[in-house]
């Protein structure tokens, strides 16, 4: 269904532009890609061509209140079992400032409330400029994708509503409600809230919470603060709690789950334009044990065109003594050509029977700016772990900004 919508709407755009009395403008990005990889189930080689298109059509009316935005992907396998496939991620019509109080959005769109988020085939209405509080209501067909494309059924719907502060400098706040239906009835029923406050030009306080009405638990809570004593130094402290919940219609909803908590402390310091450093500590709390994770990193620019990024983390406690690191290098050969590469190293333990295992990723890439609107890039990587002794994959892309 997504690929048909995509082609039909693209065919209608020239007619819509030609029918307007104002010089409509279209901007966006086209990315033509060749990808090769291994099938995750069979391990067989796969290769495909893919076309991504992201566009925004504006100035369709006198006051520039009407616009159309779209993003989609079409792919054709040239080696492997998959054939022609398409995904329409969003395609919607946006009309703003109706009577200076109403914003309307119709079509396939991504809606994100504190209570939940979804890709929706439907509409969103926002009521604003009526006081310190604005309101939003959305609803329609709930869209999701599986390995073969769009997996939405005839019973998948979603509805949401939100109220949020508007017009307060340095303050954001929202309360919202989100409900999702699937075959079998209500799949999700949630309340959410978010808050953000800036103080003294040096402090940011923020918090988000999501409450699941079916299981009567807070599925997610985040409380944090950032302190900026100067433009080059940032301190971050956060507390996060997660209690996993599943759709009421899912078989996983009957399984017992544990609560997870973590405390995060981090600092980022830019010493100069040549070097910056970061350090962090993460206290992870599980029902059956705790773990401490320490992180260190730096970004070094020994030469004007050369940058080296290094990160290391060490874990001690629940899950064992584990460590991992990242080393990446980027080099600006010229104003048009960039080269980059890196190594990712990680140790992990799935269970006591398998013991400690090692995963490594090696990658290299480049980007070439043909002109101000066109560029070409390539990335190749190899993953080595207990599952794959060698898992090569890559992407060659030609990008055009219009």
Q: What are phi and psi of 350, to 5 degrees?
A: -75, -40
Q: pLDDT tens for residues 232-264?
A: 999 999 999 999 998 888 888 878 889 999 999
Please, which residues have CB within 8 angstroms of residue 247's CB and are 6 or more apart in sequence? 180, 182, 187, 188, 253
80 phi/psi in degrees, rounded to 5: 130, -175
- The mean predicted confidence, pLDDT, of the chain is 91
pLDDT tens readout for residues 108-165 = 999 999 999 999 999 999 999 999 999 999 999 999 988 777 888 889 999 999 999 9
Residue 1, pLDDT score: 47
pLDDT of residue 348: 84
Where do the domains of the chain lie, and which CATH numbers do they carry?
1-91 (no CATH), 99-257 (no CATH), 272-402 (2.40.160.10)
Beta bridge partners of 265: 237, 281
Helix/strand/coil for 196: strand
Q: Does residue 12 surpass a pLDDT of 60? A: no
Q: What is the pLDDT of residue 79?
A: 79
373: tokens are 């609107």
List CB contacts of 85: < 8 A, sequence separation 6 or more: 3, 74, 75, 76, 77, 148, 149
CA distance 395 to 377: 8
| 355-383 per-position pLDDT tens digit | 788 999 999 999 999 999 999 999 999 99
Q: Is the pLDDT of residue 275 over 50?
A: yes
Confidence label for 16 from pLDDT (cuts 50, 70 and 90): low
- The one-character DSSP state at 373 is S
Range 311-340 average pLDDT? 95
Write the CA distances from 69 to 53, 240, 283, integer angstroms: 11, 35, 42
99, 98, 5: which is closest to 53 by C-alpha? 5
pLDDT digits (tens, 9 = 90+) for 62-72: 889 999 999 99
Strands (E), 287-373: 289-303, 306-317, 322-332, 337-349, 356-369
Least confident of 79-83, 258-262, 284-288, 339-343: 79-83
Q: Which of 35-44, 80-89, 159-168 has the highest mean pLDDT?
A: 159-168
């Amino acid at each position: 269904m997504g690929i048909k919508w995509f082609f039909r709407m693209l065919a209608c755009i020239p007619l819509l532009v030609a029918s307007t009395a104002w010089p409509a403008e279209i901007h966006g990005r086209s990315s033509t890609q060749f990808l090769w990889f291994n099938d995750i189930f069979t391990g067989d080689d796969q290769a495909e061509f893919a076309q991504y298109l992201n566009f925004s059509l504006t100035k369709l009316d006198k006051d520039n209140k009407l616009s159309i935005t779209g993003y989609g992907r079409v792919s054709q396998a040239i080696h492997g079992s998959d054939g022609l496939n398409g995904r329409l991620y969003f395609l919607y019509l946006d009309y703003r400032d109706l009577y200076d109080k109403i914003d309307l959005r119709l079509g396939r769109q991504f809606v994100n409330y504190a209570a939940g988020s979804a890709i929706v085939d439907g509409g969103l209405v926002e009521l604003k400029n009526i006081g310190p509080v604005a309101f939003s209501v959305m609803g329609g067909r709930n869209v999701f994708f599986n390995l073969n494309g769009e997996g939405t059924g005839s019973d998948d719907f979603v509805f949401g509503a939100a109220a949020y502060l508007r017009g307060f400098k340095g303050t954001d706040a929202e309360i919202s409600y989100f409900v999702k239906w699937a075959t079998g009835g209500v799949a999700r029923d949630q309340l959410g809230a978010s808050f953000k406050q800036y103080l003294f030009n040096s402090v940011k306080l923020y918090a988000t919470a999501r409450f699941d009405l079916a299981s009567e638990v807070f599925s997610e809570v985040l409380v944090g603060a950032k302190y900026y004593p100067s433009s080059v130094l940032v301190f971050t402290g956060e507390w996060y709690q997660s209690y996993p919940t599943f759709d009421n219609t899912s078989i996983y909803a009957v399984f017992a789950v544990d609560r997870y908590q973590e405390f995060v402390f981090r600092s980022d310091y830019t010493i100069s334009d040549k070097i910056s450093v970061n350090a962090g500590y993460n206290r992870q709390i599980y029902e059956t044990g705790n773990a401490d994770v320490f992180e260190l990193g730096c970004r070094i620019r020994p030469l004007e065109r050369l940058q080296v990024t290094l990160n290391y983390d060490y874990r001690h406690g629940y899950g064992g003594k584990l460590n991992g690191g990242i080393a990446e290098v980027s080099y600006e050969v010229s104003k048009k050509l960039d080269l980059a590469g890196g190594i990712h190293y990680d140790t992990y333990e799935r269970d006591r029977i398998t013991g400690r295992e090692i995963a490594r990723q090696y990658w290299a890439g480049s980007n070439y700016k043909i002109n101000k609107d066109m560029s070409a890039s390539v990335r190749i990587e190899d993953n080595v772990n207990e599952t794959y002794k060698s898992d090569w994959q890559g992407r060659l892309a030609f990008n055009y900004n219009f």
